[in-house]
Amino acid sequence: MFRGFYTAASGMLAQQRRTEVLTNNMANANTPGFKADQTSMRAFPEMLLQRIDQQSIPTEKGLNLPFSNRIGTVNTGVYMQESLPSFVQGDLTETGLNTDLALLDINLPVNPESGLRGTVFYTVAGADGQPRYTRNGNFTLDGEGFLTTASGFYILDEEGGRIQLASDRFAVNESGILTGEAGETARLGIAYAGNPESLRKEGDGLFAATEESVLESAYNAEGVQFKLQQGYLERSNVDASRTMTDMLTAYRSFEANQKVLQAYDRSMEKAANEIGRIG
């Protein structure tokens, strides 16, 4: 009976966490470069149930031999194992703004371990000064003329330095070379992640690399082909209709587990208040 409480409760928690992930995806459906999170559910290890018994053997002094009968297995619940972003290319939308840039994947090698394609990112300076990576090309110029993200993070060039311009009237070619109105030149820092699942997702559309997954320059990576398009933005890869369907499914699953929990609660109440009552 008590195991039923735990199993139903684990199902409710798993669906609640799944709903939170889906809600975040839906909230960022219009965020440029946002990568939707995908969840995976997994059952807790199954328990093998056996009954311990004794068998009497008629002997002069009597002999009891213990033995066990296998009853079967029982599942102990479910949990959300992990949440990983999908790095599928989002659709491009034209804005006509010089400060908007879009990365277009052309040919990216498939990772032999995960079976997934790698991806390329803009390199930015995080709040701690360490490199971060993003697909959001909605850039702007700050008061000092530095090229930044909409959240204020500095865009880095190929050498890891900040990019400063005289005005927002600059041009970027498909190879990432930026030319300013006053003759400034720089090459945008584009990084390549052969195994993007190893990146840690942070806020503001940023990703951080672990010590085991330091990203290399996409310009020097073997077999990597991409281009930049000025005046375009990469849209979020969130499928709004599918996300809504998944949210309804998660809600119904939560509700079903809730009803099971309530049924167990009524049974326990009856057992405690009525069974064994002396009339």
* Residue count of the chain: 279
SS3 128: coil
pLDDT digits (tens, 9 = 90+) for 28-68: 999 999 999 998 887 766 655 555 665 666 666 666 666 56
How far apart are alpha carbons 112 and 110 in whole angstroms?
6
Task: Estimate the crossing angle of helix 2-27 against helix 240-273, to 10 degrees.
Answer: 160
User: Which position has the token pair 């995908």?
Assistant: 38
pLDDT reported for residue 49: 54
Q: What is the mean pLDDT of residues 111-134?
A: 90
Q: How far is CA 30 from CA 36, 194, 207, 238, 240, in A?
A: 11, 27, 19, 9, 10
Report in angstroms the alpha-carbon separations of 143 from 165, 168, 183, 275.
11, 12, 19, 76
Per the structure block, which two tokens stand in for 1? 């009976």
pLDDT in tens, 170-185: 999 999 999 998 888 9
pTM score: 0.79
The DSSP bridge partners found for residue 207 are 133, 201
**CA dist 266 to 6, 109, 259, 273, Å?**
15, 57, 11, 11
Residue 91 is classified by DSSP as P
- For residue 78, CA distances in Å to 45, 85, 145, 167, 249 come to 9, 21, 52, 55, 16
- The pLDDT of residue 115 is above 60: yes
Separation of alpha carbons 90 and 151, rounded Å: 21
Mean pLDDT to the nearest integer, 93-118 = 90
Q: DSSP class of residue 188? A: B
Give the whole-angstrom CA distance, residue 80 versus residue 12. 11
What Cα–Cα distance (Å) separates residue 231 from each residue in 135, 138, 183? 15, 10, 20
Distance CA 61, CA 7 (A): 47
Ranges assigned E (strand) in the chain: 37-43, 47-57, 63-74, 78-85, 92-94, 101-107, 119-125, 131-134, 139-141, 147-149, 171-172, 177-179, 185-187, 190-193, 200-201, 207-208, 216-217, 225-230, 232-234
Q: What is the pLDDT of residue 50?
A: 56
Share of the chain above pLDDT 90, in %: 56
